[in-house]
Amino acid sequence: MGSGGKYTGDGFDDISSGYKKERVYSLGDAFDRKKKNPSTTSKSIEEEKIVEKPGKNKRLKRSAAKREAEERNERKEKKIVRPLEEVMRAAPEKRTTAVASDKKRSYYDFSIIVIVLFLLVAGLFSLYSVSYYSSAKYYGDAMFYVKRQAIFAVIGFALMIGISFVPYHFYTASIKIGKFGTRPVFLFYLICIVLEMAILLMGIAAGGSKRWIQLGPIKFEPAEINKVAVILMTALLIGKSARNAGKLFEFFRVLVFVMAGLILPIAKQNLSSGIIMFAIAFVICFVGSDKKRWWIVLLIIGALAAIILVKSEGYRGDRFIKWFEVETNPDSYQVREGLYAIASGGLFGKSFGQGTVKLGYLVEGHTDEIFASICEEIGVFGIACLLLIYLLLIWRIKVIADNAPDAEGGLICVGVMVQIAVQVALNICVATSVIPSTGVTLPFFSYGGTALVILLVEIGLVLSVSMRITE
Amino acid sequence: MKFSYKPLNDKVYFKNSMRMWLNVVFFVIILVYVVLVGVVAFIVQNKGSEYTEKALEQGLVSSSSDLDYKRGTIVDTNGTVLAESKTYYNLVLEPKQMYITYRGKVEEDGTDNRSYPYVENTVKVVAKITGKTEAEILKLIEDNKDSSYLVLQEPVFNEETGEPVMVTTTSGKVQKKEAVRFEYKSKAEFESYKLSPDKEINGVTIDHRYVGCARFEEHYERVYPNGSLASNVLGYVQKDGQGAWGIEESYQKYLEGKNGYEYSYYDSELNAQKITTDAVDGDTITSTINASIQKIVEEKILEFDKTWDYDNVAVVMMDPNSGEIIAMASNEGFDLNNPQDLSYYYSPEELAEMTDTEQTNALYKMWRNYCVSSTFEPGSTWKLVTVASALEENVITEKSTFNCEKYVNVAGTVISCSGTHGKQDVAGAIAHSCNPALIQISSLLGGEKFYAYQEHFGFGRKTGIDLPGEAKGILMDAELITHPVELATSSFGQSFNVTMVQMASAFSSIVNGGYYYQPHIVKKVTDSKGITVKENKPVVVNRTISETTSEFMRRAILQTVEAGTARSAKIEGYSVGGKTGTAKRGVRSDLIYVLSFIGCVPVDDPQVVCYVVVDNVHDEEKKASSSLAQGLFADILKEALPELGVYPEGEIDYRIDETVIEDNGIDESGDELVLDADGDGIIDGTNLPLTSENIAVYLDKSIEEAQNIIDGSNGEEDDEDSSSEENTDSDEEILESDEN
């Protein structure tokens, strides 16, 4: 540690093109910077006092010193304001110059694009295989679902590529429009609050709860959009304030803005989405903070809230009963059919298109219960391969997070990673009756436009972070 | 309007501690995924069959048993059916589907005004077809409202006591039930109710639109119309559809077809949807067996069975000009329609006392085909092979003569003959079945050539007949057989083992001009459309001997029957050629004889070869008398020949060689004298000291002659190795001689 950091002294340069480190994995930069910028403020000394207590060993002292150095630099870079156009332009320009000079070559993770393309294509094929019967029956077109899903896949893919070129700092930077100054993420946050209200007033019910909103010709799920808001907001709140890492103040900010503002209203209608969003927020907070104690409290609060939510709605309690009696209860029909499908798939499955459970038995065979339909056709072996591909994607996102130029970018990646991982795990748990039935889609496979587009948008965010990585 | 942008005011890095915790999160994810794959595997492993069954029950029919294939038929050479699969039907009801369609509704005050047209109409039709009352059927359907796969069953009652048969299941003892079997006409009747609108039952018009949610499921049952006929040849079919023993086993891949599939399901609007893949039926096997001949053979064996007590009797009948087996039977047949039934051989008390292992062994003994799976010492029938080999090698000619003085001393071992035949030619030696002559012939041939000819005639390896469980037989080692005593005993068919099929095939080649045909039992295989899939044409696998030798051999065996040891095998009006055999096995004090006869008709141009083996007759007088085998041979052929289109050709005595007829040295029991090598051994188990007096008394000779015998045996320093006989069934120092 401690060698190799070269600091240009230009804070903006840091942000737009990454700082000029020789090695990505190093805290040495911060340490070096201390020497170059020896000025300290009284506030930092106060910080040190809090951190450093008598009797701590040398190692703690060193980490305190390091933190101090980091914070000093952070403070130094305040109050730099640049025109928006310049910011938007900055990234590509810097990139080309970097390539030209062969010193600042930025990174773009093509492997993620390959994995995503594979999953999209595999998802469309599977969707065709498990939905041709019901689409032909209800819409007179065996490709009905596949066509619609393909359109969303194309839109989502285009959005993903587009967003990957927008520097992710744009969302959290404060932008002045005339006299008013705000951050885009706050506007996004407000939109989410409005949608949450709208769903209470004009939501369309499906499966026992209101989840959909119809805006003209477009029908969508605000819960999916909220997931993006949760990722961006939590990453902003935690990523920008490592100074207060794990403090009570941060805990309350997360509790009020994220938990109360974004998650609770959704969770009331749609507990599974609430749980996923909570998991995203929790893992971002937990990973992003030095002290974990308040996040443990947050976890307990979340668990209590979940229990209250289960008790408050009658149909959720029923689901538990159905879960316990999955083999006998007539209402556990769907899950039971799913289990039959999984069991009859065997080790290698019945091969593509040969599954029978979708033939009128599994009503949600193309959406939430798609896992069972796929399992019947590809077997245990195929499922293991599929999970391996998901893990590959998750691993790539993790690598980007590890190398992210700053905490905010890293934590955005953590949020996306957690969302994919949790959705896959929950979906399989429901299909195998490990947990009670709840509506969770299988990323890239389940039929559903909003979910797919949002998922690809999030991958776009990850790619955007990967682009800020320079060698 | 002016846009301005305020980037991050603090620079916070993604710190190492964050990476560390991110790694923890990542590994937790991996762990969870691995556990999930485990959960899926667990469901497949532990619940697979249970859930698949349940899926079947609810109306999703994708079972392989749903559209059974029809196993191929086995017919005999004339097209008579030996084994076939018969169709029967099970009635499958679908109560769940019957209750989905209803008229009327449940009133608000709770009264149920619904009526179910499927239930009303179908129950009437089913009751009429099955002969049950409507109430019974209605109760059955109401009790199983949730089932989509309800097979109509009836309790099973014990045939003798009339008591219900109980079986133990997971839910305790319940009465055993079996699916009711229906004929095709029941199915047809049901279909007619579905199709024609105006049918009435008990004055009530049936609405044909609502006759449904019930169907007749097709199944097959293996039926053997002739009971136990050719049971050892045919074999039976196990419950899993695999053939066991016989043609059913060896032609399994042709006989079995491919199951069809039927996915039938009801979509949410209750339209019955069906996807059907037809089953592929098995191929038809045409056997070379002639059922009527087989029947004659088995009847004669049964008659023989009533007269005599013995261990085994087996008969192989073969066409020498193609290798086709015409009939193959032993006394150990079984009821093909009930292959597990031992009651023919054991009383119920005996069966009750038997352990499971004993029962299994008894079943195996009953199922195995003696003619291909059992080996034995051929005895004197082998002499034909020895002579044919020697003629073929030109070590003897047809005119060679050999002297027989009843005893011959081979390297210190005295071997006796059935009589004192004096000077005789080759044909005479065969006709008298003279051991000393054969010993001389084999010593001229030499051990190496003798062994080579054994292999040349197909012994010591499988013939490749298309039946399972064929034995190879056991030949004496090529080195051992060069020893004079081994060669001597081998020359008349002792000290090595053969199977009946090997012997019949070799004999066929000796009499048909030297063409060794591959023995086979299946003529051809045709598929369900009548196209020939496989044809077993006669294949000459070897040229054994020349036409001249064969011609001489035919003459010699004709003399054997007409004037030699095989006179009991004569059949009025036919020229029969054949050779007897009386092989010994077992210890000296408890000798067991394998009686046999192999012969062909007509001898000039053999059309049929028949080989009869009788093992261990439990009769002191007749136990060494091959006339039993000859008699059976004659009995069978007398009836079988006209069936085969071989008719009497008239008087044939004119060809008999006078010199042979003169000799009357036929002594069926045959004396034996066995001395051990050092000259003070025992005589024929009597434990007498070996003195010239004892020998003289025993053999009815003068003292001088007896002394000569002793001198002869002592005179040669024997190099006999008593272990040399280990290859044989015998534990005697020497054994030989025989018969007729």
Hey, where are the domains in chain B? 74-258+266-287, 294-329+369-662+672-677+718-725
What confidence tier does B703 reach under pLDDT thresholds 50, 70, 90? low
Contacts of B21 in chain A (CB under 8 A): 286-287
Say whether B3 and A85 touch across the interface (CB within 8 A). yes
Question: Once rounded to an integer, what is the mean pLDDT over residues A11-20?
Answer: 40
Out of A31-35, B98-102, B388-392, which region has the weakest mean confidence (pLDDT)?
A31-35
Tell me what pLDDT residue B275 has.
Answer: 64
Question: Once rounded to an integer, what is the mean pLDDT over residues B332-336?
Answer: 83
Highest mean pLDDT among A356-360, A458-462, B96-100: A458-462
The 3-state secondary structure of B13-29 reads CCCHHHHHHHHHHHHHH
- Distance CA(B233)–CA(B330), nearest Å, equals 10
What confidence tier does A420 reach under pLDDT thresholds 50, 70, 90? very high
Of the two residues B252 and B217, the one the predictor is more confident about is: B252
> Is B12 within 8 Å of chain A by CB?
yes
Say whether B4 and A82 touch across the interface (CB within 8 A). yes
What confidence tier does A413 reach under pLDDT thresholds 50, 70, 90? very high
What confidence tier does B218 reach under pLDDT thresholds 50, 70, 90? confident
Distance from CA of A265 to the nearest CA of B (A): 27
> Is A85 within 8 Å of chain B by CB?
yes
Checking ipTM against 0.85, whether it exceeds it is no
Distance from CA of B260 to the nearest CA of A (A): 15
Give percent above pLDDT 70 in chain B.
79
Looking at residue A303, its amino acid is A
For an interface test with B, give the residue of A172, A335, A380, A429 to mutate (most B CBs within 10 A): A380
Looking at residue B78, its amino acid is N
pLDDT in tens, B540-571: 888 888 888 888 888 888 888 888 777 777 88
Tell me what pLDDT residue B238 has.
Answer: 82
What confidence tier does B170 reach under pLDDT thresholds 50, 70, 90? low
- Residue A423 parent element (H or E): helix A407-431
CATH placement of domain B74-258+266-287: 3.90.1310
- Distance CA(A324)–CA(B571), nearest Å, equals 85
Whether residue B684 has pLDDT greater than 50? no
Mean pLDDT of chain B: 76
> Is A232 within 8 Å of chain B by CB?
no
pLDDT in tens, B5-43: 544 445 677 778 888 889 999 999 999 999 999 998 888
Whether residue B671 has pLDDT greater than 60? no
What confidence tier does A467 reach under pLDDT thresholds 50, 70, 90? confident
Q: Is A373 helix (H, G, I), strand (E, B) or coil?
A: helix
Whether residue A7 has pLDDT greater than 70? no
Let me know: does B715 contact B723? Beta carbons within 8 Å: no
Question: Once rounded to an integer, what is the mean pLDDT over residues B733-740?
Answer: 41
Let me know: does B274 contact B460? Beta carbons within 8 Å: no
**DSSP 8-class letter at B543:** E
- Distance CA(B369)–CA(B332), nearest Å, equals 8
Out of B45-54, B59-68, B118-127, B475-484, which region has the weakest mean confidence (pLDDT)?
B59-68
Mean pLDDT of chain A: 75
Q: Which of A175, A363, A408 sits opposite B4 (nearest CB)?
A: A175
- Residue B541 parent element (H or E): strand B540-543
Out of A83-92, A150-159, B64-73, which region has the weakest mean confidence (pLDDT)?
A83-92
Of the two residues A94 and B22, the one the predictor is more confident about is: B22
Question: Once rounded to an integer, what is the mean pLDDT over residues A70-86?
Answer: 54
Tell me how far CA of residue A119 lies from CA of A277, B118, B626, in angstroms. 23, 48, 83
Query: Count of alpha carbons within 13 Å of B292, Cβ hemisphere only?
Result: 12
Question: Once rounded to an integer, what is the mean pLDDT over residues A5-25?
Answer: 40
One fold for B74-258+266-287 and B294-329+369-662+672-677+718-725: no
| Burial (CB count within 10 angstroms: exposed 0-12, middle 13-18, buried 19+), residue B81 | middle
Structure tokens belonging to residue A200: 């209470």
* Cα torsion through A156, A157, A161, A164, rounded to 10: 50
- Distance CA(B666)–CA(B739), nearest Å, equals 8
Looking at residue A36, its amino acid is K
- Distance CA(B180)–CA(B178), nearest Å, equals 6
Looking at residue B286, its amino acid is T
- Residue A181 parent element (H or E): strand A180-182
> Is A141 within 8 Å of chain B by CB?
no
Let me know: does A463 contact A112? Beta carbons within 8 Å: yes
Say whether A387 and B37 touch across the interface (CB within 8 A). yes
Q: Is B658 helix (H, G, I), strand (E, B) or coil?
A: helix
Residues 6+ apart with CB under 8 A from B451: B475, B476, B478, B481
Tell me what pLDDT residue A152 has.
Answer: 93
Contacts of A181 in chain B (CB under 8 A): 4, 6
- Distance CA(A380)–CA(A358), nearest Å, equals 18
What pTM, to 2 d.p., does this model score?
A: 0.52
Whether residue A26 has pLDDT greater than 50? no
Q: How many helices (H) and strands (E) does chain B have?
A: 23, 29
Out of A135-149, A206-220, A381-395, B348-362, which region has the weakest mean confidence (pLDDT)?
A206-220
- Chain position carrying tokens 């305020």: B6
Question: Once rounded to an integer, what is the mean pLDDT over residues B290-299?
Answer: 88
Pairing of strands B312-318, B325-330: antiparallel
Whether residue A204 has pLDDT greater than 80? no
> Is A78 within 8 Å of chain B by CB?
yes
- Distance CA(B240)–CA(B308), nearest Å, equals 40
For an interface test with A, give the residue of B1, B35, B36, B50 to mutate (most A CBs within 10 A): B36
Structure tokens belonging to residue A333: 């029909």
Q: Which of B612, B486, B588, B599 is nearest to B553 (CA)?
A: B599
Q: Is B667 helix (H, G, I), strand (E, B) or coil?
A: coil
The 3-state secondary structure of B582-594 reads EEEECCHHHCEEE
**DSSP 8-class letter at B419:** S
Of the two residues B564 and B726, the one the predictor is more confident about is: B564
Of the two residues B451 and B46, the one the predictor is more confident about is: B451
Q: In what order do the strands lie in the sheet with A204-206?
A: A204-206, A209-215, A218-220
> Is B100 within 8 Å of chain A by CB?
no
What confidence tier does A399 reach under pLDDT thresholds 50, 70, 90? very high
Q: What are phi and psi of B290, to 5 degrees?
A: -105, 110
Tell me what pLDDT residue A332 has.
Answer: 67
| Burial (CB count within 10 angstroms: exposed 0-12, middle 13-18, buried 19+), residue B735 | buried
Q: Which of A71, A288, A345 sits opposite B18 (nearest CB)?
A: A288
> Is B145 within 8 Å of chain A by CB?
no
pLDDT in tens, A213-260: 776 667 778 888 899 999 998 888 887 765 556 677 788 888 888 888
- Which is it for the CA torsion B481, B483, B485, B487, positive or negative? positive
Of the two residues B234 and A153, the one the predictor is more confident about is: A153
pLDDT in tens, B296-318: 888 888 888 888 778 888 999 99
Tell me what pLDDT residue B587 has.
Answer: 56
Q: Which of residues 615-674 of B touch A (CB under 8 A)?
A: none
Tell me how far CA of residue B647 lies from CA of A345, B296, B318, B650, B735, in angstroms. 67, 17, 17, 9, 42
Give percent above pLDDT 70 in chain A.
67
Cis status, amide bond into B602, omega within 30 of 0:
yes
Out of A77-86, A397-406, B50-59, which region has the weakest mean confidence (pLDDT)?
A77-86
CATH architecture type of domain B294-329+369-662+672-677+718-725: 3-Layer(aba) Sandwich (3.40)
Let me know: does B337 contact B224? Beta carbons within 8 Å: yes
Tell me what pLDDT residue A73 has.
Answer: 62
Question: Once rounded to an integer, what is the mean pLDDT over residues A199-218?
Answer: 67
Tell me what pLDDT residue B698 has.
Answer: 52
Q: What are phi and psi of A22, to 5 degrees?
A: -80, -40
Whether residue A327 has pLDDT greater than 80? no
How distant is the alpha carbon of residue A447 from its chain centre?
A: 19
Ramachandran bin of A48, using left for φ above 0, alpha for ψ from -120 to 50, beta for the remaining angles = alpha
Question: Once rounded to an integer, what is the mean pLDDT over residues A413-427?
Answer: 94
What confidence tier does B463 reach under pLDDT thresholds 50, 70, 90? confident
Neighbour count for residue A39 (Cβ, 10 Å): 8
Let me know: does A270 contact A223? Beta carbons within 8 Å: yes
Looking at residue A68, its amino acid is E
Question: Once rounded to an integer, what is the mean pLDDT over residues B253-260?
Answer: 81
| Burial (CB count within 10 angstroms: exposed 0-12, middle 13-18, buried 19+), residue B463 | buried
Whether residue B664 has pLDDT greater than 60? no
- In sequence order, what are the beta bridge partners of B260? B67
Tell me what pLDDT residue A31 has.
Answer: 42
Whether residue A392 has pLDDT greater than 80? yes
- In sequence order, what are the beta bridge partners of B84? B223
Give percent above pLDDT 90 in chain B.
5
CA-based radius of gyration for chain B:
38
Tell me what pLDDT residue B369 has.
Answer: 87
